[in-house]
Structure formats: C-alpha cells, structure tokens
Amino acid sequence: MNVLAYDPFVNEDEASNLNVELCSLEAIFKHADVVSLHSPLLPETKGMIKKEHFQSMKQNATFINTARGAIVREDEMIEVLQERTDITAVLDVTYPEPPAEQSKLYTLPNVVLTPHIAGSSGNERARLGAFMLEEAKRFTAGEPLQYKITKESYRNMA
C-alpha cells in the first residue's frame, strides 16, 4: 500500500521514517483511493476541504472525516456527492453536529454517518479514566504531569 500524506509539520525525513510520501492536499484527493482527514480545527484549516477536492477524486474513492466537520465546506461536498454517486463519504463529524434535520447527509446513498464519540467506547473509557486519575494524583502531589497539554500541543490537536 502506498500512503500519501499532507502535513505542513512533517518534513521529508520524518515522512521517510514513517514510510509515507508527502504531497499536496490536491494530489491526495486526485490520487488516493481513500482520503482520511485527521486535521485539527484551526483558523487556517476551517473550510480547507473544498468542492474542487471532491470533484478531483478518483472513481469509486472514499472520503473519511474523523477530524472536525468545519474543516470541510459541507454544502460543497454535498453538491459533489449528489453529482458523483461513485464516491462515498464516511462522516464521523459534521458541521453542525449533528447535521440539521433537513440535511441531505441523512438521505444521500453515498454517505455514511457515524456518531462522533471521539473513539471512546468500551474498555478504553475505563483506561482513560485511570489515566486521568493518575494524572490528578500527580497534580495534587506536586509531581510533574505525564500528559500535560501545552498551548502549542493544544493548537495542533485534532
């Protein structure tokens, strides 16, 4: 499998170590069989995925969004999905969330909507709770935090 990646924070050496090929966002949509979006919602990423991206997708390609709904220009995506029934959108997130009652996302046959639960179901909820409890114990004991979120790390989170 060839993995294409667009990430302005990853350099060629890191990409090589990860066995991915860095390319433009436009190239990913044009050449990938599956496009999976994992970008954080920042002022510069809001509305980043446009009509042209969906129009350029390969025949029978799939778009997956598990990032944030506002990164995609949803009305433009819907327009293309109506025209290009060969492409599929799998959406864990939308904007707004959930979609408005009259949204065509509910009725388009090439759209799959999943409930956005941020990947937390089953055993991982207990594990996350245990991590939080241990971190709270470190905080109250005045110990260094293991999972401290800085302004910089928060800025780059999905």
Q: Which residues are catalytic?
A: 68, 97, 116
Strands 34-37 and 21-22: unpaired
In terms of DSSP H, where are the helices of the chain? Answer: 12-17, 25-31, 51-55, 74-83, 123-140, 151-155
In sequence order, what DSSP letters do the residues of 89-134 get, joined into one string?
EEES--SSSSPPTT-GGGT-TTEEE----TT--THHHHHHHHHHHH
Kindly list the strands in the beta sheet with 111-113, ordered across the sheet, starting from the edge strand earlier in the chain: 34-37, 62-65, 88-91, 111-113
